[in-house]
Structure 1
Amino acid sequence: MCFNKLQTMKKIKKIVLVLSVIFVYSISSAQTDMLKRRVKHVVVIGFDGLSPDGLKNAKTPNFDQLIKEGASSMHARGVLPTSSSTNWATMIMGAGPEQHGITSNGWKVKDHVLPPVVEDDEAIFPTIFNVVNKQLPDAEIGVIYDWGDFGRLFEKSAVDYDINPKTAEETAKTASAYIEDKKPTFTFVHLDHIDHAGHEFGHGSGEYYKSVEVADELLGEIMNAIKKAGMSKNTLVILSADHGGFEKGHGGETLGEIEIPFILWGKGIKKNYKIPNAVYQYDNAATVAFALGLKRPWAWIGRPLIMAFEGFEIDDSYPIVEKK
């Protein structure tokens, strides 16, 4: 091999080596940025049975304010079947029923058809509660829910405060007092009354919209507690739902049943930003993990909605198409 050819090959190898180092450094920097803690507190409020139609047609000044001051999508999607247990599990587990195995409201930890792909401490698929607990051992974690069956979907050992009030009003009041008193790292609030209105009176009925307006009042109460606790400037609030509905039920495959609102508000969130990209139920837990700078379990399939955060953009050739 001639000298000049050998020198050229050496130069090429050096260039490849430099580019490799730059590439590895870039990946490392990106990973470091993804694991940067952006907020001190996260509050997720889930409204059972809340549809985008409900927010469109009811009077909701508190929801409207958070949408204006934050990022949102009215075209997020739950998973099939559009049952409560399946979608609440998906919301907190960062994965769908194919992974976590919760395929119906009849699911029990020791009585189910499809086993989870992986199991955590209490023989269930790992939830965001356990992820926070393990990676932030000093974190205060609270769950307040007025649908009793929600309590079987997460690891009891992972939370510090676990309470099941009897009504939505009591749930909001309890959650507000907890937030003011403990200033928790992660709070999850479940409100069930909208779903009751949907089943009794029908989605799209006047009574249904009234229940959404009650939810708006309860949201205002919880947001006021965040303010009183001095947490507003360092908190991410996420609002969403498990499913929508059709006539007096849900569980089917219509757009009205599977489409849900997704709203983000707080530190580092873009203002008055309509998320143009696809948003899924399992992205909720991933976004919580992102905001708290935590590693996501490999078994999760959810992705953090980084496009909603200031300083982040994504290259997406497939924006949401508005359905008529």
Structure 2
Amino acid sequence: MRPDGPILGIESSCDDTAAAVVRDGREVLSSIVRSQIEEHSAFGGVVPEVAGRSHLDHIIAVVDRALDDAGVGLDDLRAIAVTTRPGLIGSLLVGLSAAKGLAFGRGLPIVPVHHIEAHAYAGTMELDEDPYPCVALVVSGGHTALYRMEGHARMECLARTLDDAAGEAFDKVASLLGLPYPGGPSIAALAPEGNPKAIQFPRYRAKPERPSFSFSGLKTAVLYHLRGQNALNPTPAPEDIADRADVAASFQEAAVDALVKPTIQAARDQGVQTILVVGGVARNERLRAKLSEAAEAAGLRAVYPAPTYCTDNAAMIAGLGHHLLEAHGPADLELDASAR
């Protein structure tokens, strides 16, 4: 162990097996992500048992490659940071078990990291200065929520989805349209061919005193548009959906609007100047364009990680792990994972 060495991060909360080596919380020496998209695409979504077994098969190879690419060995590390919550419990346990084994074998400190806090931290890794206090919109396939951030891992939840996460809604609508999984990139690729104003899909409006998100109504509206007023009717084949591109564009526009307005309002209410937009859906170009435009009009700044660091990765785990180790020290090897 080297007290001034970098930190190895391990991430396995869902369907990406990832490892990274990061120095001083920001300098990314390596970042390896092994996607499981091909393994889950036939099912139209993540199958927990398939994900866990795939992590088990590949975690050591991914860690070895991250160390090799960084040009360091285990004895050069300062610590190991690992995602412990939230996520698929079987997947989390694979990453945690690997981290514990390496930490025990080499006498390295281990640092537990909260996946959502790490996503929020990813939005700061490329900034020259800390943006706190700020508001963070965490938007992905499993999470859609707004947080007030006072510092690294100092987060207060302001609003969250009442049902589907935004990314989950993208996946479900893509499936209705016969588009491949994952749905976010598929809809984003088709939407420019359509008219985003062609179909007036509903936008969820939260009560002012109870900020929140909801995408189930939007998803259901797409379903009825495709099947008619009887939801038990079969979904038309993709080639039989004459307005397929218009549906994709109009759905994306409605989903983006449902994210932009509450986010801008939250930043105003909290009296902050910066909005961090993180998570897999933060890669969506329409979301970036509309939120940036709305933020500028409101005198605010919207900040996005590089696309590589929007989706699940271990650089954000190692980066936040650096600050958690500085603030709280290491955990003991009895730490456990939690799906919640």
Please state which band the TM-score falls in when normalised by the shorter chain. Answer: under 0.3
TM-score, normalised via structure 1 length: 0.28
TM-score, normalised via structure 2 length: 0.27
Q: Which of structures 1 and 2 has the larger relative contact order (alpha carbons within 8 angstroms, sep 6+)?
A: 1
More strand by percentage: 2
